[in-house]
Structure 1
Amino acid sequence: MNYMDNKISFSAYSALFNNVDNCIFTRNKVSNQVKWINKDDNDLNIKIKNEKRLKRILFNEIKSLYNNRINRYNLEGFSRINDEKIKDLEINKFFLVEDKFKGTSGQYSVFPRTFYCDKCGDLRVFSNTDEWKHFDVKNCRNKNCNGKYKQFNYVTFCPHCGQIKNIYPKCETHGTKYLKLIKNTENQKYWKVKCTKCGEFIDLYYSFCNHKDIYNLNHSISNEKSSKVMLLPVMQNSIFRSVVKTIVDVQNLEWEDNVDSIMLGSYLGKFNYLFSSNDNVNNPERILEYITTVLKTFEPHKENPQKAIDLGIIGPNLPQIVSNIENTITEIKKNYFDEEFTELTDYLILKNYFGDNKGNKKFTEYIEIHDSFKREFEKLKNILKISEITYIPDIHLISSSIGTNRGVSTLEDNYLNHFEPHWKSKDKDIFKVYSYPFETEGIIFDLNKVEVVKWLIKNKFLNGDEFNQFMDEDEAKNIIMNLDKDGEAYSHLKILLHTFSHIMIRRSSLYTGLDVDSCGELLFPKSAAFLIYSTSNINIGGFSFVFENSMIDWFQDVQLDIKDCIFDPSCLDDNGACFSCLYLPEFVCGFFNGFLDRDVFLGKTDRYCVGFWSIDIN
């Protein structure tokens, strides 16, 4: 490998978002850092239907993650992102190349540039480009040594301010010219560096971080006291982990700023007052069309509606109708956060509430034609608490890397990741996301909402006294819809859906022809549903085949998969999930294998007194 050849094209299809700005990949046992990814200016990707909606959703996610980090760690040296910064967000599509004649996907370089001889310990620290150009990794510079250089691939990470710093030791008198690495133990924490010129011993790295900005040492990013750093190995996903947000792409619609509110309001029946009691308003697509037509008609005359009424251009009742619609939209926005809009409207689009997926097939309808599945599916519905399974042949998704989590990631209480956007420059004035629009197929699983609410009540995540014990599907839907996203009930529902999703993905290769690396997932807690979709370059129709031929088999013995893990009882007792039973590759799982617990179904620990599959059917 030529270490100076920093412009080499490589395929990113298998793990697209592992190769974005700052992320690490390894080649020939040497770690490299991506400097930047080129954007697609030649429209090699498919079109993004609705970039304005995408930008709004991604901006709100970035703003929330970054500002929460600043608030949590009191990083007063960072500027918070305000709503006006949305104008400084760029949407870049990946420039994917298959051969070097079509250009390059981006640029990377060896990181860190610290090497030591595997025999004599000669330490080379490169901060000078000219020295790096003449570096020969295969030959030690000491004439009496026949050793080769190895990369010292460690950095320091401050858990408080989130800064990651290279380990570049130097002698105060002689700089980095005469350094030797002393490996007096197997633990890298205790390795020393010696200057062979003066004999001075030097600490390999500073054990404490003073929270000074590495780009401006006169600038402090936190007023907190110095904190102890962690020594982290530089390898894929160890120090920079890409944060990916996937949403459903929907066609551009009129009244873009309010389309999510109108969609959600239509689904919830908030606009039924616009129609007479004898009119059929069960078609949300029709409601959306009516409202957008009304708003579009009124828009040119909103400054002087009375004049338009006098001229007979609009009806006398139109201003009041528009006022009522706008008040309803305001009410919906007040009661539902923007991320809830995204989750719910994505679900509604997939379920064909607004006519985007004409070829959807519901399994309850499919078995009416193929009666042999009917009895088995009824058993599944009762045992596994599923209400519907829907095959979606044409899904338009956009996956976007919105930034990176720095350093150690954990799901401990009160811990917040050090999220950093993809800044375009060191000034942090413009930031960007990398988006990859694609078309695929998938299957969406809806859990029985009544059974979900009963399970939450029996585990005391919801107060049962507040709800009707004989609730119907609509009542249960409204309860789930109004769960607080920061509340206990929502969190455990998310664990339930995520665990179920992982079970089905891990079993998918047996029936779909797709291995776990070729699957993706989306969770919809507000709808008690989850989607599994194909991420393969070639759509082989695996989900179509399993839907029509092996759906019942896909669920076969699923309860046995949950019941046991080879690392039980410790796995179940600790957190109910591990690499042996539930984990998926991190580029498949959008939550880094968090929010997983087999006990949501079993109810064998003090985390859940009743398992979801143990609830009695009334």
Structure 2
Amino acid sequence: MAVNKNISYPVNSALFHVVDNLIISRENISFKVNKIFPDDDKDNLNVNNELRLKKYLFNEISKRYNTRIQYYGLLFNNISKSFLKNFEIFPYKIYQSKNSFSALANVYPKAFACRKCNHFISFKENEYEKFDHFDFDNCELGCGGSYEQIIQMKFCEKCGSIENLSSYCKVHKNNAKWKLLRDDKFQPITWKLECLDCSRENNNYAPKDILAQKCYHNNRSNEDPSRYTLLTATEGSIFHPIVLTTVDIPNTDYDSLYLDYILLGLYLHKFDEFLDREPCKDNDDHKQVILHINNFLDMSQNEVVMDKIDPNTKKSVEMLLDLLNELEEEFDNYSFVNINDHMVLSGSLSKDLIDSVSYNDFIKGNEKLTKEYGSFKKIYKIEQVNYLSNINLVSAVIGLNVGLNKFYEEDFVPHFEPIWDYKNESIRSYVVPFETEGLMFNLDKCEVVNWLIDLGLLDMEYVSEEDFAVNILMGMQNGSEEYYAVKTLIHTLSHILIRRSSLYTGLEEDSCGEMLFVNSASFLIYSSSSINIGGFSFVFENALFDWFEGIKRDIEDCSLDPSCIQETGACFSCLYLPEYVCSEFNMDLDRDVLIGKTNRFSKGFW
């Protein structure tokens, strides 16, 4: 049967299944995406706040890539802030239409062995013409056999390079013909490569171990040569797409490089003194205040204007810049965007930015449901549940983690690789804006802080005032023990609910998405399906309590206990979701965060 060497690839709701170099499988053959089609027909929604999105994505890309370079000592240049001008967001076609596809992919890896005589052949990445003439169905040695793809590959953990299985003969050089010896087909580490000519000419010839060659890092690293690790190139392995989802604030009038700092400053009341000095026409109008602040920021960027303005106005501009610098020093790039996303979704900044209904408002006047909801919140330590009927989100693929994903190791740094456009010397990110619905779950802030105190992660007395608890959570630094504990808590709860979603929302788990808001002890579960069936609206109005019914019993046990709870408290049997659903690739999950059975968490949240 003829094998397609290239395939067209449509994308529906799983938008991160199309990224440069991502591996997909079709009819027992692995392919790698090598071309992405733009959304030339403008089928997708437009990005509302392109400037905000670009800055956020670029900061994440540069932080991850530069961390990798520093950690592994790679001889690459860091991505500097000035490279932002070489960064583009790239909307691509998400829906299949007639004669139109999202991407093209070709066979990968290009290594093959004859099913009959084990003749082995491996093509280099630049051997396009040679591979075009390769016939899967006819062994080149004339034995009458056909070839099967060898999907095992060599990976260097030091520099992140990935290579086909191959070998080099010093005697016969590029003319060598190879045989793949597979005494145990299911134990690739035992395979060997034999040069057929050397074997025939030399009785003492010994076949080579498939990992005999060392990686010399191609000038990527100062490390000494090291042995490769063997990986299998299947869908979801070797190349792991990194997808970030953020709120696309539905208003372009105040697009600004400073927008996130302004939003955060307004929420934290950092601009009160400035607004007392330079009052807005309507300090209660969220949009007008942002535009008012932006006007002063525009002045600061214009030297001619700054030279002409009066001293008092100049002092106001300097005050504003000082306030923004303080915010920049206090909050890292990721946390403040995340905090602002939560504030926009929850309506904390402005009700006109989001269509949100709290469950308290929904049941207002219904004494029976009000009583049940009060009991529900107390049992599950939830402050509020909100239904968001029309959320503007943008999901973006910013790059790939290459090779082994050792997230279970402390201080593990993945080999993150941005999506390079070498022809134009730029970086790109594939983005898809979309509208959806979802439910926001806000945990009781005092209960969360007091739980952290019980765990010994905060040294203070129990708190009872919500504002005080909010400030404590807002001050958590990404990477701290308390931050990790809260992240694990909300992430675990999110997965439990998503895994139960089909019973109550009508949405299967692979049609859901999640956003985690650690500093707010909140999380959003939303529909990622291209067909919105209103599942979250239904569960909000009719089955919210049922969704949680039995949830405590479910987390107590896993079919793989006791090993699951003793080791990590999470596995494919109890908490894991498909990688294109989980925002953290199944990291930072642990049932013990809720039940407190092991020494990882001395007390469970529930």
TM-score by length of 1: 0.90
Q: In 2, distance between residues paired with 1:546 and 1:284? A: 38
Q: Residue type of the partner of 2:377?
A: K
- Tell me the percent identity: 39
- Once the two structures are TM-superposed, the CA of residue 176 in structure 1 deviates from its matched residue by 5.4
1:68 maps to which residue? 67
- Once the two structures are TM-superposed, the CA of residue 570 in structure 1 deviates from its matched residue by 1.1
2:422 paired with 1:399: no
- Superposition pairs of residues 494-573 of structure 1, within 5 angstroms: 494-573=487-566
Residue 467 of structure 2 is aligned with which of 458, 461, 474? 474
2:328 paired with 1:333: yes
Question: Using a 3 Å threshold, how does the CA distance of structure 1 residues 578 and 141 change in structure 2: closer, same or farther?
Answer: same
User: 1:308-339: per-residue Cα shift (whole Å, max 9, x none)?
Assistant: 66xxxxxx965544443333222222211221
- Superposition pairs of residues 596-611 of structure 1, within 5 angstroms: 596-611=589-604
2:441 paired with 1:424: no
Question: Using a 3 Å threshold, how does the CA distance of structure 1 residues 607 and 294 change in structure 2: closer, same or farther?
Answer: closer
Secondary structure of the 1:410 match is coil
1:217 maps to which residue? none
2:350 maps to which residue? 354
Q: In 1, distance between residues paired with 2:315 and 2:234? A: 61
Alpha-carbon contact 2:180-2:191 (below 8 Å) kept: yes
Q: In 2, distance between residues paired with 1:67 and 1:105? A: 30
Alpha-carbon contact 2:453-2:462 (below 8 Å) kept: no
Gaps of 5+ in 1: 214-219, 310-315, 614-618
Q: Residue type of the partner of 1:212?
A: H
- Once the two structures are TM-superposed, the CA of residue 373 in structure 1 deviates from its matched residue by 1.9
User: 1:486-524: per-residue Cα shift (whole Å, max 9, x none)?
Assistant: 211001110001001001111111110100000000000
Q: In 1, distance between residues paired with 2:290 and 2:106? A: 54
- Superposition pairs of residues 300-315 of structure 1, within 5 angstroms: 303=304
- Once the two structures are TM-superposed, the CA of residue 208 in structure 1 deviates from its matched residue by 5.4
2:378 maps to which residue? 382
User: 1:167-223: per-residue Cα shift (whole Å, max 9, x none)?
Assistant: 12343444356322211234212212223333155425344544332xxxxxx1111
2:47 paired with 1:48: yes
Q: In 2, distance between residues paired with 1:407 and 1:400? A: 21
Q: In 2, distance between residues paired with 1:43 and 1:53? A: 21
2:110 maps to which residue? 113
Q: In 2, distance between residues paired with 1:470 and 1:407? A: 45
- Once the two structures are TM-superposed, the CA of residue 469 in structure 1 deviates from its matched residue by 2.7
Question: Using a 3 Å threshold, how does the CA distance of structure 1 residues 130 and 397 change in structure 2: closer, same or farther?
Answer: same
TM-score by length of 2: 0.91
1:91 maps to which residue? 89
2:56 maps to which residue? 57
Secondary structure of the 1:460 match is coil
2:57 paired with 1:82: no
Q: Residue type of the partner of 2:326?
A: E
Q: Residue type of the partner of 1:160?
A: K
Alpha-carbon contact 1:12-1:96 (below 8 Å) kept: yes
Q: In 1, distance between residues paired with 2:402 and 2:296? A: 50
Q: Residue type of the partner of 2:119?
A: D
Gaps of 5+ in 2: 200-204
Secondary structure of the 1:247 match is strand
- Once the two structures are TM-superposed, the CA of residue 405 in structure 1 deviates from its matched residue by 0.4
2:202 maps to which residue? none
Alpha-carbon contact 1:357-1:392 (below 8 Å) kept: no
- Superposition pairs of residues 279-290 of structure 1, within 5 angstroms: 286=285, 289-290=288-289
Q: Relative to structure 2, which stretch is displaced further, 599-608 or 324-333?
A: 324-333
Secondary structure of the 2:505 match is coil
For these two proteins, the number of residue pairs brought into alignment is 591
Secondary structure of the 1:256 match is coil
Over aligned residue pairs, what C-alpha RMSD do you find? 2.6
- Superposition pairs of residues 103-502 of structure 1, within 5 angstroms: 104-127=101-124, 128-145=127-144, 147-174=145-172, 175=174, 178-186=177-185, 187-199=187-199, 200-203=205-208, 205-207=210-212, 209-213=214-218, 220-250=219-249, 251-254=251-254, 256-273=256-273, 286=285, 289-293=288-292, 295-296=294-295, 299=298, 303=304, 318-352=313-347, 353-411=349-407, 412-425=409-422, 429-464=425-460, 468-502=461-495
Secondary structure of the 2:566 match is helix
Alpha-carbon contact 1:294-1:322 (below 8 Å) kept: no
Secondary structure of the 2:438 match is strand
Q: In 1, distance between residues paired with 2:229 and 2:95? A: 37
Alpha-carbon contact 2:488-2:593 (below 8 Å) kept: yes
Q: Residue type of the partner of 1:71?
A: Q
User: 1:391-437: per-residue Cα shift (whole Å, max 9, x none)?
Assistant: 001111111110100100012112110000011128x9311111111
2:577 maps to which residue? 584
Question: Using a 3 Å threshold, how does the CA distance of structure 1 residues 294 and 568 change in structure 2: closer, same or farther?
Answer: closer
Alpha-carbon contact 2:286-2:350 (below 8 Å) kept: no
Question: Using a 3 Å threshold, how does the CA distance of structure 1 residues 43 and 499 change in structure 2: closer, same or farther?
Answer: same
Alpha-carbon contact 1:9-1:98 (below 8 Å) kept: no
